[in-house]
Amino acid sequence: MKYSIFSLARNALSGHKNWQPAWRSPDPKPEYDVIIVGGGGHGLATAYYLAKLHGITNVAVLEKGYLGSGNIGRNTTIIRSNYLLPGNNPFYEKSLQLWEGLEQDFNFNAMVSQRGVINLFHSDGQRDAYVRRGNAMRIHGVDAEIIDQHSLRDMLPFLNFDNGRFPIMGGLMQRRGGTVRHDAVAWGFARGADMRGVDVIQHCEVTGIKREKGRVVGVETSKGFIGCKKLGLAAAGNSTTVAKMAGLELPIESHVLQAFVSEGIKPWLDNVVTFGVGHFYISQSDKGGLVFGGDIDGYNSYAQRGNLPTVEHVVECGLAMIPSLSRARVLRSWGGIMDMSMDGSPIIDKTDIDNLYLNAGWCYGGFKATPASGWCFAHTIANDAPHELNSAMRLDRFRTGYVMDETAHGAQANLH
Ligand SMILES: Cc1cc2nc3c(=O)[nH]c(=O)nc-3n(C[C@H](O)[C@H](O)[C@H](O)COP(=O)(O)OP(=O)(O)OC[C@H]3O[C@@H](n4cnc5c(N)ncnc54)[C@H](O)[C@@H]3O)c2cc1C
């Protein structure tokens, strides 16, 4: 069923009783051409582009929970392409371009809102680093501008400009950045993939990967054995445990990241704003809630929940940036599992194991990458070779030394 003004009117006339489910709930077939493990944003986008762009429709996406139960439904919804390094920037810009046409493409309202992302700077040195980043973006044809303190005061008068310790001197802005309703992205890709024949199978946990003569022949699941010709892993926070089923050790640690939403208030914050001296970022949802987050919890875990010391730390950073935040009440918070790679950049690649492909290492920045990640992973699986856009996102870079250390923090997962 195509969603349009006409389908809305038609269904309104019948009392909205004839809407069809957005996707089917099929039983698994004995074998598929491609199986994707993980029905998060990346797995679903991969299946969508495999079917839409490469004509590979005999595909199953296996999800152990329900769609949206992973990070795709837990993130703070920010999209942007303000990356520095040549291995990252064109990829994230491709993603932003895909976001710009995504709702028309998959015929689903994902509330893409290009409200602008502003990274605050607090010292001359940090300003220089942001100018460098902005210039690198512009060299790649990506929009970037430095906003001086005077203009920022007009835009965001409630910021703590004169904080004695962390004065706000200006910001790097990407106006095309913004937010997207995160779970609608999973639903839109699932619906688009399902319409093209992909089986999206929920509550189907992969418990083992079966190999014969080195090749992957299928997966053991909570719904029985399912054979496949190619296997793609897109399990985000569970990447290490799933890859281990094929005997693969990944250069990835899993950490918890929390998100917070306040009570709804009147429209107040037009942009996405990030603090420059601590990990804190904030935006306002269309329902009025302030959506914010900060640092990872700082220890390895596979639990989808966080701890109080990090709550305190995030709130401290928030209050240093916007003192009036102290009057808002936090309504809810939750945690997600981050697949932290050792250089802070992702992996989209074939593995050393025949017909096994890997999509992982998204740290806390994989939501914005969802469309390009699916697009590139589908290309890599269909052609048995990476696309130019993901050619630097190789698994063997940790062996060869060609890492992409975007933030220059080295192999410190908690600092990326
Ligand atoms: C609090 C928080 C805030 C964030 N904020 C942002 C942000 O503002 N911007 C941004 O760009 N990124 C952000 N991120 C990161 C982003 O959400 C993730 O990098 C991205 O969603 C990961 O890809 P995914 O959507 O495919 O992951 P997921 O949705 O986690 O998908 C992986 C799926 O694999 C499934 N799975 C795991 N093991 C198995 C198995 N054995 N069998 C079957 N299925 C399995 C899981 O259940 C899960 O549904 C944030 C993350 C969190 C937690």
pLDDT in tens, the chain (416 residues): 899 999 999 999 999 999 999 999 999 999 999 999 999 999 999 999 999 999 999 999 999 999 999 999 999 999 999 999 999 999 999 999 999 999 999 999 999 999 999 999 999 999 999 999 999 999 999 999 999 999 999 999 999 999 989 999 999 999 999 999 999 999 999 999 999 999 999 999 999 999 999 999 999 999 999 999 999 999 999 999 999 999 999 999 999 999 999 999 999 999 999 999 999 999 999 999 999 999 999 899 999 999 999 999 999 999 999 999 999 999 999 999 999 999 999 999 999 999 999 999 999 999 999 999 999 999 999 999 999 999 999 999 999 999 999 988 888 887 88
**Nearest Cα to 147, choosing from 176, 167, 127?**
127
Distance in Å, CA 361 to ligand 1 centroid: 10
Q: Integer distance in angstroms from the first to the last C-alpha of the chain?
A: 43
Distance in Å, CA 337 to ligand 1 centroid: 7
Atom of ligand 1 nearest to the CA of 281: 8
Q: Is residue 238 within 6 Å of ligand 1 at its C-beta?
A: yes
**Nearest Cα to 59, choosing from 371, 378, 390, 385?**
378
**Nearest Cα to 267, choosing from 248, 279, 283, 284?**
284
Distance in Å, CA 206 to ligand 1 centroid: 16
Give 153-202 pLDDT, tens digit per residue.
Answer: 999 999 999 998 999 999 999 999 999 999 999 999 999 999 999 999 99
Q: 199-201 and 170-174 as β-strands: parallel, antiparallel, unpaired?
A: unpaired
Q: Are the CB atoms for 144 and 174 separated by under 8 Å?
A: yes
Residue ID of nearest Cα to ligand 1 atom 3: 75
- CA–CA dist 316, 309 (Å, integer): 11
- CA–CA dist 74, 259 (Å, integer): 7
Q: Is residue 74 within 6 Å of ligand 1 at its C-beta?
A: yes
Residue ID of nearest Cα to ligand 1 atom 48: 70
Q: Is residue 255 within 6 Å of ligand 1 at its C-beta?
A: no
Give 25-34 pLDDT, tens digit per residue.
Answer: 999 999 999 9
Pocket test for ligand 1, best of 231, 233, 367, 406 (most atoms within 8 A of CB): 367
